[in-house]
Amino acid sequence: MPELPEVETVRRGLAPVMEGRRILSALARRPDLRWPLPERFAERLAGRRVAGLGRRAKYLLADLEPEGAAPAEVLVMHLGMSGSFRVEAGEDTHTPGAFHLPRGAAGPHDHVVLSLEGGAEVIYNDPRRFGAMLLVPRIALDEHPLFRELGPEPLGNAFDAVRLAAALAGRRTSLKAALLDQKVVAGLGNIYVCEALHRAGLSPERPAASLVTPAGRPTARARRLVETIGAVLEEAIAAGGSTLRDHARVDGTLGYFQHTFRAYDREGSACTMPGCHGTIARLVQGGRSTFYCATCQR
């Protein structure tokens, strides 16, 4: 499942094509993806101008201006496990993102096509159909079931050590499980939680509440973890996201952050933390693989 850096990479690739452009026509080649497409989906998109393209957690958000009697709405898009966007503009074809494995063949898995002002087409391809597209009134977006309980964005000003401590106080789960909870912090997934915990020197099995003082304040570990999460995500975005499994950048080139993984998917390799002579191990938490160094992560 794409995590925040992958989705942000796709957003940045699509923004120059979509922002400020009108959707001249839309084509939905099937009635559903993971969930049924909205009623009159293609009709409601046609003629709408994309005021901006944003991201919340792992969702892409196309802000649609009002058109006639149509209110301001947001086209909410999720890539699922195998979804991707392809941009076609004349002879120029590229994929916003960049994918490690070949994308689904054009045609059979091209489920949604947006024809934009200026001649470009944005095509959503999804072989497994675990992605989603919804239309939500802009005024109701924050209260939509997908968004109303999301935690702060890890790269935003609202996410700091104090906010993290408040979310972790009294929790009996492991630190890794807590960070995967989208109510604690939005957009993090297995890959970047493993990386952040390793770089912060924190055990994934450490009790989440151990980062909070008896008075409810963040410990030094909590402050270090917040800084590390931001650094790891920024580095991954700059590298174009990870190219594991199905992810790809918009321009079709491979991202390369996975070449700098220090823990994830490195079981049996020497730990790269300076002065550490440990080995990266793997354990299963909540059905997911965790990669960590028992020597330097405490």
Of the listed ranges 34-43, 82-91, 100-109, 227-236, the least confidently predicted one is 100-109
Q: Which residues of 241-257 are buried (b: 16+ CB within 10 A; e: fewer)?
A: bbbbebbbbbebebbeb
What confidence score (pLDDT) does residue 108 get? 86
pTM of full prediction above 0.95: no
Confidence of residue 113 (pLDDT cuts 50, 70, 90): very high
pLDDT for 104 equals 45
Q: For position 260, what pLDDT does the model report?
A: 78
Average per-residue pLDDT for the chain? 90
pLDDT tens-place string over residues 27-68: 999 999 999 999 999 999 999 999 999 999 999 999 999 987
CA distance 203 to 255: 28
pLDDT over threshold 60, residue 247: no
Give the three-state DSSP class for 58.
Answer: coil
Name the residue with higher pLDDT: 194 or 101: 194
pLDDT at 82: 85
pLDDT for 255 beyond 90: no
Q: Token digits for 11?
A: 């957003």
Q: In the prediction, which pLDDT does 256 show?
A: 47
Rounded CA-CA distance 60/150 in Å is: 15
How large a percentage of the chain has pLDDT more than 70? 88
pLDDT value of position 3: 87
| Residue 54 parent element (H or E) | strand 50-56
Which range, of 3-7, 63-67, 99-103, 127-131, averages the lowest pLDDT? 99-103
The separation between CA 163 and the C-alpha centre of its own chain, rounded to angstroms, equals 21
**Averaged pLDDT for residues 268-280:** 97
144: its two tokens:
């939509």
Give the rounded percent of residues in the chain with a pLDDT score beyond 90.
Answer: 76
254 against 74, higher pLDDT: 74
User: Residue 225: which residues within 8 A CB-CB, separation 6 or more?
Assistant: 161, 164, 196, 197, 200, 202, 211
**Torsion of Cα atoms, 58 then 200 then 171 then 142, to 10°:** -20
The answer, yes or no, to whether residue 98 has pLDDT greater than 50, is no
Catalytic positions are 2-3, 58, 288
pLDDT, tens digit, 9 for 90 and up, residues 114-163: 999 999 999 999 999 999 999 999 999 999 999 999 999 999 999 999 99
Residues contacting residue 244 through CB under 8 Å, at least 6 positions apart: 100, 191, 258, 265
Cα distance between residue 222 and residue 218, in whole Å = 6
| pLDDT tens, position by position, 176-229 | 999 999 999 999 999 999 999 999 999 999 999 999 999 999 999 999 999 999
77: confidence class by pLDDT, cuts 50, 70, 90: very high
Which pLDDT band holds residue 166 (cuts at 50, 70, 90)? very high
Rounded CA gap, 123 and 176, in Å? 36
The residue length of the chain stands at 298
